[in-house]
Amino acid sequence: MPADQPAWVLTRREMIGARIRDARLHANLSQIELGTRVGVDHKTIHRIEYGTSDPGLGLLLQLAHALGVPLHDLVK
């Protein structure tokens, strides 16, 4: 992850991660269960939820599908 990203990018990534975490908890899924559904390790889910990893569009689409929410609910 480039260290020269603007602060607003990091803030938005944290906000998206929080929305993913909220949707996961609302769906009563663990990080392990969600990771299994989308084909990634639970550690990757943790990093996404806490804004330390930058999920690509493909993974965001898979997460939205696995969580049963529209993509725009995660990235608004």
Q: CATH number, domain at 13?
A: 1.10.260.40
Range of the domain at 46: 7-75
Model confidence over 29-76: pLDDT tens digits? 999 999 999 999 999 999 999 999 999 999 999 999 999 999 999 998
Q: What total of structural domains would you count in the chain?
A: 1
Does residue 69 lie within any of the structural domains?
Answer: yes
CA gap 3, 26 in Å, rounded: 33
Q: How far is CA 15 from CA 12, 21, 73, in A?
A: 5, 10, 11
Q: DSSP of 7-76, one letter per residue?
A: HHHHHHHHHHHHHHHHHHHHTT--HHHHHHHHTS-HHHHHHHHTTSS---HHHHHHHHHHHTS-HHHHH-
Does residue 63 lie within any of the structural domains?
Answer: yes
Full-model pTM: 0.91
